[in-house]
Structure 1
């Protein structure tokens, strides 16, 4: 059985279960036990012979009720009225619902207090002061994400003709009325095919849209869980929604509610058959802001993510820095603890500085994400020069104390090593860390900075363990002559790091920038070699060191304007450049889409591309399934890519998202297995 048929079967079973529950509820006597959604019938104002009644619903925490069209599962409220002779009720008006996806099923729900407003036409003979009793038997389904309970209540109130409601009641009705979707003052048009429902909604371009979603009232007319595509063409909003395999017959009109944002604002519309334009500029997707886990879980994820960074491929270049410090930590217990704490302080400080800078830039309107520092050529140049200088130091070219490598060690050196380690390590995102850093971009400043500090603590944990656990320190080799040889060996990964940074300088700034930076590095190394010769001869090395700093300062100030080299999109799987417009077009054609976000400085990305993406079996599976591959190059700052990452709850790259036909997007793991993409294409 295919996954689509399985989902359809689950939907039918859910509906049958809900109907059975309501039948049983109607057959049983009213229970005295309290319901999970408390209900109250309230009489409101009377205008021109018509009164308004409100059925106020108050769900308990964790429970929810349903819109008039509940979606894939659930059941809308059923009402049976007992009215005075000559009175009649109109169509109930519901506030704008929200979406809730449970086990792949889309529900249209209310999780907080809401009110359904019902208009009542009074009897013509009713005079001022007449009391009109009103009763209603209401049945509804109250659900959590695990279970549903059919509930019922007999509600009663009294309408007093000519009497105005008290101030408290009037205020409540004002609030409930504002929660209703505003009626659209112009006709909308729709076009229906076997595969899609397309609508043209007249909506001024000045109306801001944030996480829009269209709730269609007609049952089973559209695929509720499918991604909805929105685009704008002048003052017309275009909406495309896939249809299910077993869709309802074509309707003469389509009634719907368009959610405008995440604050309950929306418009009610009725669309009639008519021309619907194509094209337009894509707007924000229908994905709601991700619901964040509790802060303690986020903190645990940040610590775990930082700890795992110590073994991620992108962090290997800094392992040589850690190795010498770990080896020297066995000298004495007190000294090891001081160095462990100093190193940890440096790591946490670096994470806090980077986090604060990131939050400040985003607050100022900049579209930046985690690892934003490596999107700036000047930062990469500085790291390249530093890596080249450390390589020369490890080879014995000069004897300046590289942070943490002084023969006697120092707290200041360990702190500096921690700063450097975190600065180089944090651009990568791995398991656990992605959710925590993505949440940090959405939380207030204080808890967000706490998450950044927790990430630093995770990176520093191995050093802290060595510093405070004597058994671990005893397993380290004692200092000796072997450390000189080991220091020379560690120059190899540092030299490879310098080469990788040189390549990144070229990717960010072009050949001219790379040539300039290589010449600058050669001059610096020559001056450092001169300083080292003076040191070996017992002469002062201050003059060559100052000259090196002066050359570096002048070199940075006179560096040519970088010319970015766009990431190569040609690949064996025929990747195209990412854009929201390209994504909307591919989804509109009903094709599966693989969105692949990468950057030249992300080693995890490069490993995934080699192991799982750029493969012949992946290519064959994608071609067979007609998969559209969209590759986003985040090497340099790209606002459109940053907006997409934020919408998906990601703070940085790598990010891989799979859009199956007629289904919600699925975020894939950050570490891909060789067969994963081929399996996705074949499912």
Structure 2
């Protein structure tokens, strides 16, 4: 008897495997136990420590009190002047003052110059203070307590990476006589001496093309050397361009470059001699000619730090190469199968293959730009986030889980989507659309990974201006798509692709297996982030959507209307996301450390190194497939444990599954924005960075 279209379908072996995995998914969240609340993380140390001090804590009514925001960078780190230059962000202050009190403008000390990858930075490497005058209300009463607070935000940067930092600073005051103690006066006088002196006369400037000459009144009898002009007006000057200086009579002329001609008053700071400075305001005028040359800071583009050997071109190349090598990472394997299937469908159709590859590339690059842009915006807002930050948010993980469940069901043949079904010829519109969204999916799935060359590029992106940083993320996406662009545009490579045939249907169904495993991994990650409640929400929504997709497939075969089913699926997804967003999340307690390992703690690490003990430190996350493969294949092996025990090597583990500002800062310090990162500290020696794909030989060799 002929089988009715609405009767139960006969499942192939791959479909049976997928359904068994879905049953396991159900049993997983039903069997999950309740978890304990995770203890809050300790406050992270800062690379540029900030504090608030007052010249007097007993001001009189109506007094003007000078307060200092004292910044103390750790060795190798710096913060920025009011105009940071080509990169970085300046100190930002938001005051919380008593009624009637007010804060004046920030007075910044004379900065230094630093070239990083061809970009000029205006920085401070040593301890310094920004001074602000506070006006005490005249109506204040003697004995009245004033709570002075300020929310401060700044960038702490090394030569490779930047970390946004912030603090709420406060200094208590009590209205009194206004007396300033001699030690306080002396300390503040030292800070005041580091400020530039306002020039009592206007300077002049003239622009010829992109060249600008600034003539600053300066007595011919005064010495001047190591000159540099810092423009306070932003986006007018080419900061890294060479400057020259000469002295003509009672004028000191500094020459540099501007981005384009302008006709407005400019403000700036002239640094000269040993960190002395003059505040300069210049208007258009006639520049004196002639004069004797004066030395400037450094040669050409000035620098008081060592310039790293890598310029932006190399960093961009590393991002492309890093994206290319991501195709070898385990986290991207499921998507590679989808793309291979798509290319195989096209056979020798060159035009269609090229359109498909371009659409796939556009999807990847746009996704990388969006993810990179969000990460940069969050870091600029003071959030301690790194690459793959979205996988630390249970709502995003839930959305990815439901998406992967839908992809699994489609590959298994439970329902068809126009342009995705394996047995149909792709329409032009459907093929391009499907390739674009496959590219989006590839970028999202690839974000848990960082591979060789990618780490340096991602770390440098956090230091560069936003426009250049986004180019780094675009380069990463281009590298990820490069193999398929090569196949599409290089005929000999395309001819090696297998021809379309019946094998594609079975291959498509088998590809549902790794996608189902990816779904299970996301459900497990959801448990790690949100505990039993997260698994309950995610598992229930996934199973309901799976059943609705099965119903959709039946309606497709019978020709019945299916708009109601599609609407129900969208409604279930939205409802699950809203419930997850509003749910009281109780994350499970951290897993106990493996025997012989200790949890990451920077102070503990310093203590172990001070004792001369060798340390193997690695950072991992439950969403990082590469991390887990390395742990299984190399770290958690008997040979490795025996070698470490024999050599007395202490293993330290940093778990980055949930957002951890301590780990974010430590990764940034080593030029990384994500995991994995493997470090070995030999006794009494600096850290060695190990490969991101580990072998047992790599680790056992550490004990030799």
TM-score category of the 2 structures, normalised to the smaller one: 0.5 to 0.7
Please say if residues 608 and 615 of structure 2, whose CA atoms lie closer than 8 Å, have aligned partners that are also in contact: yes
Q: CA deviation at 1:553?
A: 0.8
Shift, 1:644, TM fit? 0.2
Q: Which of 453, 458, 468 matches 2:474?
A: 453
Runs of 4+ displaced beyond 6 Å? 170-174
Distance 1:499 1:289, change over 3 A: farther
Shift of 1:165: 7.8
Instruction: Give the structure 1 partner of residue 351 of structure 2.
Output: 334
| CA separation of 1:449 and 1:166: change in aligned 2, threshold 3 A | same
Cα offset for 1:179? 8.3
Residue in structure 1 matched with residue 597 of structure 2 by the alignment:
575
**CA distance in 2 between partners of 1:519 and 1:438 (Å):** 39
Change (3 A) 1:290 1:675: farther
Shift of 1:547: 0.8
1:175 offset after TM fit, Å? Answer: 4.0
Does residue 1:343 correspond to 2:360, yes or no? Answer: yes
Give the 3-state SS of the residue equivalent to 1:300 in structure 2: helix
How many angstroms apart in 1 are the aligned matches of 2:499 and 2:394? 41
Q: 1:675: how far off?
A: 2.4
1 CA distance for matches of 2:508 and 2:620?
33
Identify the match of residue 440 of structure 1 among 432, 455, 461. 461
8 Å CA contact 2:534–2:585 kept in 1: the answer is yes
Tell me the matched-pair count: 417
Alignment of 1:34-433 (within 5 A): 166-169=221-224, 175-178=272-275, 291=308, 293-330=310-347, 332-401=349-418, 407-408=425-426, 409-433=430-454
Contact kept? 2:322, 2:476, Cα under 8 Å: yes
Pick closer, same or farther for the CA change 1:171–1:300 going to 2, 3 Å. Answer: closer
User: Compared with structure 1, are the counterparts of its residues 681 and 468 closer, same or farther at alpha carbon in structure 2 (3 Å cutoff)?
Assistant: same
Cα distance in structure 2, aligned partners of 1:292 and 1:317? 37
Answering whether residue 662 of structure 2 is matched by residue 646 of structure 1, we say no
For residue 564 of structure 1, the aligned residue among 587, 597, 617 is 587
Which residue does 1:543 correspond to in 2? 564
SS at match of 1:308: helix
Pair 1:670–1:174, CA change in 2 (3 A): closer
Deviations 1:468-502 (A, max 9, x none): 12222222222233322221111111111112212
How far apart are 1:332 and its partner, in Å? 1.8
Deviation track 1:624-665 (CA, whole Å, cap 9, x = no partner) reads 333332211001110000000000001211101112222122
Cα RMSD over matched residues?
Answer: 2.8
Taking a change above 3 Å as real, the CA distance of residues 404 and 667 of structure 1, as seen in their structure-2 partners, is farther
Note if 1:627 corresponds to 2:626: no
Query: Which string of whole-angstrom CA distances, capped at 9 and with x for unpartnered residues, describes residues 19-42 of structure 1?
Result: xxxxxxxxxxxxxxxxxxxxxxxx
Query: Structure 1 residues 546 and 402, CA, compared in 2 at 3 Å: closer, same or farther?
Result: farther
Instruction: Please list the CA deviations of residues 507-526 of structure 1 after superposition, one character each: whole Å capped at 9, or x if unmatched.
Output: 22112311221111111111
Q: Which moved more, 1:397-406 or 1:486-495?
A: 397-406
- Deviation for aligned residue 1:307: 1.1
Structure 1 unaligned spans of 5+:
1-61, 63-98, 101-163, 181-262, 265-287
Q: 1:289 offset after TM fit, Å?
A: 10
Q: Which residue of 2 is the match for residue 216 of structure 1?
A: none
Deviation at 1:343, TM superposition (A): 0.7
- Larger RCO, structures 1/2 (Cα 8 Å, 6+ apart): 2
Q: 1:325 to 1:582 in 2, by over 3 A?
A: same
Structure 1 residues 626 and 175, CA gap change in structure 2 (3 angstroms): farther
The equivalent residue for 1:668 is 690
CA deviation digits over 1:531-554, x for unaligned, max 9?
Answer: 211111111111111011111111
Structure 1 Cα separation of the partners of residues 336 and 538 of structure 2 = 25
User: Structure 1 residues 534, 292: CA separation in 2 closer, same or farther (over 3 Å shift)?
Assistant: farther
Give the equivalent residue in structure 1 for 2:76. none
Q: CA deviation at 1:422?
A: 1.0
1:597 match: secondary structure: strand
**Paired residue for 1:485?**
506
1:286-325 residue CA offsets vs partner (Å, 9 max, x unmatched):
xx99946112222221111111111211211222321221
Aligned-residue offset at 1:387: 1.1
Establish whether residue 587 from structure 1 lines up as the match of residue 609 from structure 2. Answer: yes
**Contact 2:224/2:272, CA 8 A, preserved across alignment:** no
Q: TM-score, normalised by structure 1?
A: 0.57
Contact 2:348 2:494 in 1 (8 A): no
